[in-house]
């Protein structure tokens, strides 16, 4: 937020930055605490819905709704809602939004293919130094962190083979940890189902 930048990272063999965009965040400094305070929340979030509008509106052609307030926000008593990543048909001005993260429409069009519901984490920080990014953040199967993540999610490897896991993330920001999993399973009729779980943990 301090530098009004949105950065997109890719995790494969290692972590690398793919793209960087200029953005605008809330008019007021600090994390969001209540409805109408014109602050952008800080923490680990996920997209819940994607809205597309073919008409010309002040919010551009599309908007990605974030799950603010998440479990950490609710526990801390932070209120409000309606936080989006969206475009704009006006000139992009730093620190000018009511709390949303706003990009130029052309930049949002470039970013949009990477923004998926309930999978990619959106990490919002005041300063980049708050997040420590290692060269390789992959969870190794059968490693201690991998096993700990599955345990925190109450994942039953006896019922669902580890091979059915599509994605598993373990993100720590300060004392907050968000663990997410996406996996597939089959019923007796061999119908495939896609399941997701998420756990919010506090490190004491």
pLDDT digits (tens, 9 = 90+) for 106-152: 999 999 999 999 988 999 999 977 666 655 566 777 788 888 888 88
For residue 74 the two structure tokens come to: 């609710």
pLDDT digits (tens, 9 = 90+) for 14-66: 778 999 999 999 999 999 999 999 999 999 999 999 998 766 566 777 899 99
DSSP per position, 53-114: --S--TT-SEEEEE--S-HHHHHTT------EEEEESS---TT-BSS-EEEEHHHHHHHGGG
pLDDT digits (tens, 9 = 90+) for 54-99: 665 667 778 999 999 999 999 999 999 999 999 998 899 999 999 9
pLDDT at residue 101 tops 90: yes
Distance between CA atoms of residues 127 and 118, nearest Å: 24
Of 168, 158, 156, give the one whose Cα is nearest residue 196. Answer: 168
Cβ neighbours, 10 Å, residue 117: 13
Helix (H, G, I), strand (E, B) or coil at 56: coil
pLDDT digits (tens, 9 = 90+) for 183-197: 988 776 677 788 889
Strands (E), 141-191: 165-173, 176-186
């Amino acid at each position: 937020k301090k530098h009004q930048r949105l950065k997109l990272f890719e995790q494969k063999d290692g972590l690398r930055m793919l793209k960087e965009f200029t953005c605008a965040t809330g008019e007021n400094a600090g994390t969001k605490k209540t409805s109408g305070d014109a602050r952008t929340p800080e923490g680990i979030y996920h997209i819940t819905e994607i809205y597309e509008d073919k008409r010309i509106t002040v919010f551009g052609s599309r908007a990605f709704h974030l799950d603010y307030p998440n479990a950490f926000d609710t526990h801390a008593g932070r209120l409000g809602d309606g936080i989006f990543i969206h475009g704009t048909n006006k000139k992009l001005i730093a620190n000018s939004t009511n709390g949303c993260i706003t990009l130029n429409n052309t930049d949002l069009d470039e970013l949009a293919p990477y923004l998926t519901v309930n999978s990619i984490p959106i990490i919002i920080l005041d300063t980049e130094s708050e997040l420590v990014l290692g060269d390789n953040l992959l969870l190794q199967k059968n490693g201690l962190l991998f096993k700990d993540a599955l345990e925190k999610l109450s994942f039953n490897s006896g019922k669902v083979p580890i091979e059915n896991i599509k994605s598993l993330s373990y993100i720590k920001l300060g004392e907050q940890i968000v663990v997410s999993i996406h996996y597939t399973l089959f019923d007796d009729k061999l119908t495939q189902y896609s399941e997701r779980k998420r756990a919010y943990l506090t490190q004491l």
